[in-house]
Structure 1
């Protein structure tokens, strides 16, 4: 099928893309090359936290592009400093390293933890380098972050793996403690496992994990690439449990649609020296100006409360849908939620919803037995209702 003036076979095939090209987006809506509109519950996999093309991002890009785009990371620039100040001012962290993607931020966190482990060796004076991670976790697609991830099959996909990432079970503190050795330097987890099926770490588990890591002199790293930036109804998901981690990574929502990520740490952990870490676009003012604009929207009075309210409403509507169609319920935090289907028809639902006419619905099925919902944080109740009605129609047509 021809749907572009350019040949699509010039792109390396890394995912199964449907035969359509998106040309415009506004808020919760996308428009393709034929003019068909789609209600978008992917939002770039939780990237577009303010929806498609919000005015604040347009303004930041235009304004900053007229001033300075790339002076080199060897120099300070104003947006870089502003965003770092906003992030540290709203969190328990003191230092920020900017990157381009969540995987890159997680690489930085792993490197920082391992350097800290070398500077703080075990009782025998040996380097500590192992980082306990979790089954079903997802930390990125570089070789190291794939090794840190607990995604099934990834241990053989690009073997051999990078060593040093034993896997525990989420919400099972005993499974974590059993893996601690004299080589352990940190524990790293997603407060809500997104790709794993939207599985939240319980408040009790997060608090026990913080106590356990302190008891053994280990770092606690939270990967908030997906759960951070207001997604759970708190600015950062670790705040839901009333704890203070040592390192946090951000991505996706921090740029609201542009490539931006960050690794934050406490002052006592900030052991990088010049040359240890870097990146050509680290702290790029065009991207960090957008990040600052996004942050300012998220911390406006009442915004995070509205996310909590919308999250409760979405959860309630998904529960009603589940009961109506005999499904297995919903789960999640804030506006990161999943609908448990009971059988492996996720991909069928995604395709059928996308192909609906005259308006399509964009959904995500990270696992065959569930759907994941990642709307813009300013989604309306009416847009939630519309999605529920459309999804109900799809389920009915599929015999559910």
Structure 2
């Protein structure tokens, strides 16, 4: 079950990571700049943000499988269309629709975790999913680099099309659907908005969802900035960049598994507060080093190792704490949680894409701002929740 849910959750990360080493080749073929190719990444994040709000109510009303299969079908179609694009505008547009399809997989996987596993085990399950998902940043950029150099960047989207088809087969044959659809749930826009509002009004959800989303957007800053930082600023080639990306992913994955051990002795609330504080310190040191000109490829990798390690611990705990108050409306809660992450990610990614130059300063600034803002929201939200009680 973890592998099936992990394959669904990994679809989005693979779609994000695999084409990153191909940015220079895409720019050359489509007669544009690598910085403009980054806008196809931003459009993907925007598509995920919008799509999650659409799929949440559909998953609650019709069950998990029908909306999921529709989304996967859309993903396969859009991925295939990306193979044949002839302009950067076309790539940006089809990446948006690719995101609309892939986000169904993420929302459905999160809701299914809440459906079939006890609440007390949710953080551990999310950590295990992180292990499966974490293979994508290790494998995807490296595979993408070799595919691009050997067969061209279009081969990446052929592979993504095949992945979508395999996920459809997994869902049809093996994914259980234990959730009983709520046919009384209205899909009237007013009712949908009221459902989302009811979810957001739960103090525990709003605190951990927002703190987690802002913090998690640092990952998108890293993903958006890393091609320029490593391949343009530090002059690494696509294959070496893929290996660096894979190496850094080990720390993101490994820390999520350390989190499972920490949960034996500490509560999720304690872990989030402590590790987020450490992340703020690491990001601030990264920013100061960038401002003072102390940054080289080795120090950059070391700072990113620390930042991503913290993120691997924070994310499964904030996700579990956000969904814990719900037994009904889990699809809507998962949609709001995922959409908040992707909206924050889209904003940060857009800011990175539009930043001038290729130095580490825009990335360091983004990581410091996201970690610090997430920590402030966490502290303020928990204080407000305690006063409410």
Quickly name the TM-score band, shorter chain normalised: under 0.3
**Going by fraction, where is helix more abundant, 1 or 2?**
2
When normalised by structure 2's length, the TM-score is 0.26
Structure showing greater relative contact order (alpha-carbon pairs closer than 8 Å, 6 or more residues apart): 2
**Going by fraction, where is strand more abundant, 1 or 2?**
1
Structure number with larger C-alpha Rg: 1
